[in-house]
Structure formats: C-alpha cells, structure tokens
Amino acid sequence: MPGNAVLDVNLVERVPQSIITDEFLSACVHCGFCVPVCPTWDILREENDSPRGRLYLMRAEADGRVNPAGAFSVHLGRCLGCRACESVCPAGVPYGHLLERARARIPPRPAARRRERWLLSALTNPGAGRVTYAAARFLRSFGLASALGRFLPGKAGQLLRLLAATRPVFGHTAASTSAPTPSADDRHSEENDETTYVLLTGCVMDGLFAHVHDATRRTLAATGYREIEAPEQTCCGALHAHAGLLEEAREQARRNIEVFERTDCDWIVTDSAGCGAGLKDYPAWFADETEWRERAEALSKRVRDVTEILAAELRRSGGPDGVPGGRTVLEGRVGYDAPCHLHHGQGVTEEPLYVLRALPGLEVEALPSSDRCCGGAGMYNLEHPDLAARVRAPKLAEVQRGAFDWIATGNPGCIMYLGAGLMRSGDRTPVVHPVELVDRAWS
C-alpha cells in the first residue's frame, strides 16, 4: 500500500482493539435518531458523515474490514465531536468516548502530526505557553489583532480574529485580594466549615481568559466559597484526547488527579465547558487501568461548572437577593448559546440560563440553534475552515436577527469562533462568558 511508508504503526498497535469492539459499539441499534441532529450530516448529506455512519466505520475498522488510513480517517476527521448525537441516542451509545478511541487508531501522517504536536505544545506546555500567550496578549492589547484581523484573508486573518475575540469586554479587573487564598497545607489547619474549591486554571483559559477566571473567583467569593490554590495543576488534556493523543491526555490527567487529591477541596470548578467535560470524562480515559479509573471517578464527582455552583447557591438562598455584595443593573438583551461540551458533554442545560435570568434588567433568550455546535470545536475550525464556517453560518444569522447586546457562552473556543465570525461580518455584538455578566451585575 503506497501510504504505508508514512504510517505510525506503533500508534495503531498501542490502542487495544478490545476497547472499541466491546459492547459500546454493539449498543447502536441503527435507529437513525442521531442523524438529523448531526451538523456535518445536515450539510454534507452523506451517511458516512453522520453518527450512525461513523459508528459503522468504527465497527468495520475494528473488524479489519476497512483501512484506518482511508475513508475511516476522512469521515472521523470531519466529525466536530459535538456529541449532539449522544443527547438523542435511545441506546446510550457513548459516541464521544468511542470517537476519541477511534481517532487514536488513525495512522498519523508525520508532517500533519508534527504540526499538531507543535500547536498543542505551543498552547498547553507551560514553558512554551508562557511565550505564546505573552505574544498573543501583546497583539491583543494594542488592537493589532482586531485591526489586522478585519481585512487579512486566510488562516492568518482567522487566527487574528480568534485572538481579538478573547479581549476582555468589561476590561480586566484583578481578582479581589481581600480574602487571602490558603494553600493546600493551610486548608487542613483551618477550623471552619467553609465550602472550598480549586479552580482549574487550564491553558488557553489561563493565557487569554484570565478575566473570566477573575470573574469566577469574585462570584464564588460572593457566595461564600473559598479558593484553594493548586499551582502544580496542568492542562486538562482534552485537546490531546480530541486529537486522538490519548496517552498524552492520560499523563496530564494523572498529574491533575494527584494534585487535586492533595488539596482535599470540596469542588473542582471549571469555567470552560471543554475542560469541564474533559475532567468529568477522566474515568473513561482510564477504562483499562483500575486504580487510575477509581481515582478518576472520585475526582469527576467533584467537578462542577461555575454556573452549576452559582445556580445551586441562588436556588438555596432564594434568589439573587440572598447573595451579599453590590448590585449593578445591566440593561439589555442577552442571546445564550450553549457550548456543546456543557450541554451535550456534561448535561448542564438549564443552569447558565437560570443564572443569567436571575440578573435584573436583562432579557435572556437562548438562540434557536443554542443546542447546535457553532463550528469552533477546538482546533477543528483551523483544520476544516470551510465546513466549520458552514456550520456556524445559521448561528451568526440568528445573532444578527436577534439584535442582542451580548452573546453569552461558557467555552473559550465558542467565544473565539463566534466572536471571530461576528467580526468578519462587521457585527460588533460582544461575546462573553455568562459569569462575566454575573460578576458585572454583582459588582
């Protein structure tokens, strides 16, 4: 076979067949309920670009009937990983997990894999990330990203628009330092019953969305939660898992499990839907390692999106009046777009809307396509720019029709991709994280 010279055979052999030929693949009853909700099927109208077709391909590859370097890699590569198919599946097929496992079996082409690893390292490696994000913030702060991104074509223009969309809409205010943050060791000497949490700081979030972390910290402080610092934590590993680099993802997960176990916190809080889904999925990443799977299960039970915590506290205290702190009445219309990894990946559907609707002065509406992918999908929009833009187009039209003052969505990739699309079409509607609006209103 001509392609054999560039196949990484070791990678194929590293992923056991048993994992994807077990009862999960067999659970699909081919009913097709998942087909119409799939954005790629909707656009391409090709069975192999539907969840059911991709599951057929996974089965065929596992049985040795198709070459993993052929149609298998093309159609699995076009999947957004949005997991909308999981939400409607009556048989409970864990499509997202199967996809990650199946992608790990695609023989990588060395040049593409090198590019992918370089990009992942630039974004997630602590040393390389410091340089990447410092340069990115420099471009952002002087308005260069926004100015050049408005007219530059191609990938360079797209990258600049994505970067410009990360700017803090409400300015960058440092997190309050009035309540000192205890270290993990201090935590054990405290004699109080405060609810404690560790914030997953992550990679892209820490580098470009520190203002969202600050908003998360302030709103949690306002509800009486106390942060425990865990500086040894690392990237959640989700970007590597989505790229099929499961062993790298597991390495990051093992480190986070050890670090978070040491903190003995009540909750591990995320303000990035993709990272939250990654942490909650850790047990699936260790399906074949009993000890790590058990530790991952214990950890994933303590993971909460910030809107889950805020909604629970608002409900418990009888609404926003029960939360101490100032009040700023924000007036305007908010269009909510659900991140796939919150809505489908974590099943968190109502909480962000509940929290936003508790803010006086705001009129909050979910976009008609709120539960449908925006096309961003991590690095997908860079790898499949045309298809991603076609997935995004109906959502941009809804935003423009809705005449919103803000679009709210709780995932960095969605903020960036929606923001970049709006900028490209000359629409100045800002895209923010829901917790930024809460923070603004409670300040």
Rounded to an integer, what distance in angstroms lies between the CA atom of residue 434 and that of residue 28?
A: 36
**Which amino acid, 321?**
D
Least distance (Å) from ligand SF4 to the CB of residue 79?
A: 3
Of 243, 252, 250, the C-alpha closest to 108 is: 243
Instruction: Candidates 25, 40, 140, 432: give the one binding ligand SF4 (CB under 6 A).
Output: 40
Q: Is 85 in the site for ligand SF4 (CB under 6 A)?
A: yes
Query: What one-character DSSP code corresponds to residue 266?
Result: S
Residue 322, both tokens: 């029960």
Q: Do the beta carbons of residue 60 and residue 117 sit within 8 Å?
A: no
Convert 418-435 to b/e letters by CB count within 10 Å (16 or more is b).
bbbbbbbeeeebbbbbbb
CB of residue 91 to ligand SF4, shortest distance in Å: 4
Query: How many angstroms separate the CA atoms of 220 and 340, rounded?
Result: 24
Which is nearer to ligand SF4, 19 or 85 (by Cβ)?
85
Q: How far is the CB of 420 from ligand SF4 (least distance, A)?
A: 20
Residue 182's φ and ψ, nearest 5 degrees, are -75, 150
Q: What is the DSSP letter of 340?
A: H
User: Quick check: 131 binds ligand SF4 (CB under 6 A)?
Assistant: no
**Tokens (6 digits) for 285:** 């990443």
The answer to whether 54 contacts ligand SF4 (rule: CB under 6 A) is: yes
Task: Output the smallest distance, CB 41 to ligand SF4, in A.
Answer: 6
Residues in the chain: 443
Which one of 61-69, 85-93, 322-330, 396-404 is the stretch in contact with ligand SF4 (CB under 6 A)? 85-93
Nearer to ligand SF4, 40 or 196 (CB): 40
Q: How far is the CB of 36 from ligand SF4 (least distance, A)?
A: 10
Nearer CB in complex with ligand SF4: 85/435: 85
Instruction: State the burial class of residue 54 (Cβ atoms within 10 Å of its Cβ: 0-12, 13-18, 19+).
Output: buried
Rule CB under 6 A: choose which of 52, 59, 240, 372 binds ligand SF4.
Answer: 52
Among 11, 58, 79, 299, binds ligand SF4 (CB under 6 A): 79
Q: Is 38 in the site for ligand SF4 (CB under 6 A)?
A: yes
Cβ closer to ligand SF4: 11 or 340? 340
Of 20, 62, 69, 93, the residue at the interface with ligand SF4 (CB under 6 A) is 93
Give yes or no for residue 20 binding ligand SF4 (CB under 6 A): no
Report the SS3 class of residue 195: strand
Site string for ligand SF4, 278-317 (x = CB under 6 A): ----------------------------------------
Would you count residue 95 as binding ligand SF4 (CB under 6 A)? Answer: yes
Taking the complex as a whole, how short is the minimal distance between the CB of residue 194 and ligand SF4, in angstroms?
40
Dihedral class, residue 143 (left if φ above 0, else alpha if ψ from -120 to 50, else beta): left
Residue 229 CA to residue 194 CA, distance in Å, equals: 15
Q: What are phi and psi of 39, to 5 degrees?
A: -60, -35
CB of 371 to ligand SF4, least distance (A): 11
The residue ranges that bind ligand SF4 (CB under 6 A) are 28-34, 37-40, 51-52, 54-55, 79-85, 89, 91, 93, 95
